[in-house]
Amino acid sequence: MPRVALPSGIELDYAERGEGPALLLVMGIGAQRVHWPEGLIERLVARGLRVISYDNRDCGQSSVLDDLGTPSVPWTALRGALGAKVRPPYTLEDMAADGVGLLDALGVERAHVVGASMGGMIAFWQALSFPERVQSLTSLITSPDPRRLRGRRRDFWPLVRKPPREPKQAVLDHQVRVFREIGGPLPLDEPALRERLGLAYDRGRSLSGYARQMAAILGSPAVTPRLGELRMSTAVIQGGSDPLFPAHVGEAIAAAIPGASLRVLPDMGHMLHRETWDPIVDEVEALVARSEGAAAR
C-alpha cells in the first residue's frame, strides 16, 4: 500500500477506496488501519464516500520512532491517573497534524473525520487545531479527557501492562482476551477478529510505539473545556456497555458541542462488532449529508 512522507519526517501508510466526499478514519491506541472491519468500510464506500484510513505514527507500517525512547506504560499510567505531569515524546496534537498532513498529500481540502477511541481524541485535536480542514466530526467510543478512564475496570489494566511479545499465537490469544474484556455483551466473531489481528501482527507490531502512544494520551491536556468552540456538524456515538468510556461520557460530549447529535448503542462495548456497523454507517451518512447540505447553502 502507498506511503506518504510528511514535512515533519513522519511517513504514513494509508489506503483509500471509493469516490465522493472524503471520510478520514482515525484508529485507536496500537491499532492499525486494518483494525477497521472490512465490512464497515465496504458499507461506507457503498454510501458514496471516499474512505481514507491510515496507520498512526508508531504502529503498523507507518514510521516507528524508537529514537524517542520507550516510556514505562505502568508508570506513565499511574502518573496520569494521579494527575501528575507526563512529558510525552509527542502529543495527540502532533498525531492530529499527521492526519491533516495526509489530507494535504492527497489533495483533500476538507474531510469528514471519524475517530475511534484514541482516534477520537486525535480527531478532537484535528477539529480544534485545524477547523478549516474538518467538515464534520464523528466521535466514536472515545473521551475528551484522556487522563480519566471513567469506566476503568480493575481486571482490565493487568491485561495491557505486560502483553506477550511472541510467539504470534500467544500475542493473538492475549489480544482476543482483551477484546473479550472490553467488547461488551455482543457475540464475538472470533475467527474474523483473529484474522484481523493476525494481519496486523504480520504488518508490524511495536510495543515501544504503543508505550509512546499511551504517553501521548496521558501527556495531552483534556479538550473538555474547548468542545464548545467546535462549529462543524458533529455526531457522537457511544457504547452503552463500554467499560472504558461509558454512555455518560458520550452524553457529556454531545452536550458540550453546539448542535451535536448523540446515539448510544446499548449493547456496544469498546469494540466495533458487526451488529454496530449499520447504525454507525447510518449516523455517518446522515452527518455527511447534513454537513454537505450546510456547506452548499
Closest listed residue to residue 30, CA positions, set 53, 66, 58: 58
Task: Give the model's pLDDT for residue 151.
Answer: 46
pLDDT in tens, 65-83: 999 999 987 777 777 667 7
Contact of 181 with 156, CB cutoff 8 Å? yes
Position 53, amino acid: S
pLDDT of residue 295: 64
Provide, rounded to the nearest whole percent, the portion of the chain with pLDDT above 70: 92
What pLDDT, on a 0 to 100 scale, did the predictor assign at position 79?
A: 76
Please state the rounded mean pLDDT for residues 240-248: 94
Q: Model confidence at 161, in pLDDT bands (50, 70, 90)? A: low
Give residue 159's pLDDT. 56
pLDDT for position 148: 63
pLDDT per position as a tens digit, 182-210: 999 999 999 999 999 999 999 999 999 99
162-184 confidence digits (pLDDT tens): 778 889 999 999 999 999 989 99
> Tell me, what's the pLDDT at 78?
73
Predicted confidence at residue 297, as pLDDT, reads: 55
The dihedral sign for the CA sequence 210, 62, 18, 257: positive
Domains and CATH numbers, the chain: 3-152+205-296 (3.40.50.1820)
Instruction: Dig out the grid coordinates for 189 from the structure.
Output: 466473531
Return the pLDDT at 156.
56
Strand residue runs (E) in the chain: 3-5, 11-17, 22-26, 50-54, 111-116, 134-140, 233-239, 261-265
- Read off the pLDDT of residues 122-133 as tens digits, 9 standing for 90 and up: 999 999 999 999
H helices of 15-70, in order, are 38-46
Pairing of strands 11-17, 261-265: unpaired
pLDDT tens digits for 8-22?
Answer: 999 999 999 999 999
* Mean pLDDT, all residues of the chain: 92
Q: At what angle do helices 168-182 and 190-203 cross, to 10 degrees?
A: 130
**% of the chain with per-residue pLDDT over 90:** 82
